[in-house]
Amino acid sequence: MKRTLAFVVRGRLRPIGLAILCCGWLAGCATLSRPEGSVLRAREQVSPALVHIRPVKEMFQTGKRTEMLVVGSGFIISPEGYVVTNEHVAGDSTSVQCVLSDNRELDAQVVGTDPDTDIAVLKLQGDGPFPCVKWGRSDSIESGQVALAFGSPHGLSRSVSMGIISMTDRNLDEEDANSAPYNNFIQTDAAINPGNSGGPLVNIRGEVIGVNARMLRGAENVGFAIPADIARAVVEAIIRDGRVRRSYFGFELQEMTARSMDPARRGVLIAGVDRFSPAAEADIRPGDVLIAVNGTPVNARWREDLPAVRRLIADLPVGEPARLTIDRNGEQREVTVTSVEKTAARGKQEAFELWGVSVAEVTQEIARRAQLSRPAGVLVIGVSPGAPAAWAGLQPGDIILTMDGETVDDFSAFRRMYDQRLQENRRQIMLFVQRGALTRFVLINLEQTSTEQEETRGHE
């Protein structure tokens, strides 16, 4: 339902679409006359710092390495040329080309990305100083106030649209890949389209109050921006460390009202505890209520309250013991838990083209979803049609556990074992894979397929 805004370059807009957009614009002109002065001033402040971003993304989903050109937006935040955009725009990219407002084309280097908040930081490769925007505060915004969205909707660079803030803290956390655990979103009716991703949402004073990131597919004028306060903290961490370090205890949180509307109950509900996590070792259980962290009370009565609590916990120093106050059936207890660093949900990916299979690292998150007791093996994410892996019946979602009877410990072990077989010119490779709850033997046969392929070619 939700859709993020990287715009995939496919073809030109058809004239008919453009014509309709023009008409709409003409009709809208008259209503803009009154606040025009302030809008123009805001635009003058932001426009010079706007960046049209064209990353080339690397993808491995098909058993082959492929590249895809996407278009997004961004904005310069410092004279040295640091640019803020979305992770879904600049993540996994092999090169990033930026076009500045004065039409200068510059390459940029990816300084770091944070998939959990969908923020990426780039550094322009060119001579500064660069014009930059001014950060505003997102904690003082109100719904109803004017908001301007800047960026490249559908690849149309240097566009600005206007609306108001429709809602200040919309919770869009879902249990899928689009989860946004650490932030609510600013909802706006300023037009946001694919391609606006990473562009700034600005108040009437020309200050950045959010980073445009999402829209609702099928809806009109329902766009979402990551609040500036959260984006800014992440950006600073990325510039400082190259990434965001977060503490992880291994419990999932839910709002108190998921269990009861009783207003007397305060705290945060523990919804689930990962096996083999620090929380599980400390005997924290689902249904417990977390009421304080290092003596600081925490409270999440509603869903919207969860991101702040998660941030408080994530920001605890990694590897240091924390004192958690837990309420279990009305009885309070203190437990000391030492956090570990939260690992990325998505790890390395690579295509192994001789076999026609792309695999991904089995991260903690993937292991948890696949109900493995611990990360092991590699995850098949793509199989090239007609390739030996496809002939052998390997399927996306399979987890390769052993190769020729030898345990595949992790991603680098898989790569090493693959390379070794390539060098030795081994033609038959036996894999043992996990598929859902079952396991299976899969024989990659490089002989058979090559003859089959030749036969196919013979027919052409």
Partner 1 sequence: MSKPCCRLRPVLPAVLGVLLLLPGLGRPAGADEIPSQVIRQAFSKWSSSLCLVMFSQELTDPRSGETRRREGTALGLLVRSDGLVITHGHLQTDTSRITDARVRIDSGNTPGELPAVVLGKPDELNLLFLQIQAPEGTAFPAVSFSDVPLQLGDPVLILGRMSESVDYAPGVTLDYIASVVDTPRTAYCLGGGLKMGFLSGPVLNARGEVVGVTGLEMSEEEGGGLYSRSGVPMVFQTALLAPCISAPPRPGGSAEPKPAGEEAWLGVFTQPLKPEFAAYWGLSEPGGLIVSTVVPDSPAAQAGIRPGDIIKSFDGKPQRATQDREVLNFSRLVRDTGPGKTVRIELLRDGQPMSLDVTLSTRPQSAQDAEEYEEDVLGLTVRELTRDIRIALNIAEDVQGVIVRRVASGSPAQAAKMRPGVIIMSVGEQTVTSIEEYRQAIEHLRAARPDEVPLFARLGSATGFFRVRPRW
Instruction: Determine whether 154 is an active site residue.
Output: no
Minimum CB separation of residue 415 from partner 1 in Å reads 16
Binding site for partner 1 (CB under 8 A): 4, 6, 61, 88, 118, 175-178, 252, 254, 257-261, 269, 271-272, 286-287, 345-346, 349, 360, 365-366, 368-371, 379, 381-382, 396-397, 428, 430, 432, 436-441, 443, 445, 448
118 catalytic? Reply is yes
Q: Can you read off the two tokens belonging to residue 451? A: 């003859």
Q: What is the distance of C-alpha 105 from the center of its chain?
A: 26
Distance CA 388, CA 385 (A): 9
Give dist(CA 190, CA 140) in Å, integer.
19
Q: Of the two residues 27 and 261, which places its CB atom closer to partner 1 in the complex?
A: 261
Report the Cα 273 to chain-centroid distance in Å.
23
In 196-301, alpha helices (H):
228-241, 278-281
* Residue ranges of E strands in 145-199: 146-151, 159-170, 185-188
In the complex, the smallest distance separating the C-beta of residue 440 from partner 1, rounded to whole angstroms, is: 5
C-beta of residue 199 within 8 angstroms of C-beta of residue 208: no
Considering the complex, what minimum distance in angstroms separates the CB of residue 431 from partner 1? 11
Beta carbon nearer to partner 1, 78 or 395: 395
**Least distance (Å) between residue 227 CB and partner 1:** 19
SS3 457: helix
Of the candidates 60, 58, 104, 62, which has an alpha carbon nearest to the alpha carbon of residue 81?
A: 104
For partner 1, which is the closer residue by CB, 128 or 436?
436
| Annotated active-site residue in 88, 93, 114, 398 | 88
Q: Which is nearer to partner 1, 227 or 388 (CB)?
A: 388
From the candidates 118, 173, 189, 398, which is the catalytic residue? 118
Q: Which helix (H) or strand (E) holds 326?
A: strand 321-328
Min CB(448)–partner 1 separation in Å: 7
Q: Which of 166, 197, 339, 384 is catalytic?
A: 197
Residue nearer to partner 1 on the CB measure, 226 or 269: 269
- Taking CA atoms, 417 is separated from 40, 116, 422, in Å, by 61, 32, 9
* Least Cβ distance, residue 428 to partner 1 (angstroms): 5
Residue 73 designated active-site: no
Using an 8 Å Cβ cutoff, are 21 and 154 in contact?
Answer: no
Extract the tokens encoding 28: 């809208």
User: How do strand 296-297 and strand 289-293 relate by DSSP bridges?
Assistant: antiparallel
From the number of C-beta atoms within 10 Å of its C-beta (0-12, 13-18, 19+), residue 178 rates as middle
Residue among 141 and 431 whose Cβ is closer to partner 1? 431
Contact 182, 116 (CB under 8 A): yes
Q: Which residues are catalytic?
A: 88, 118, 197
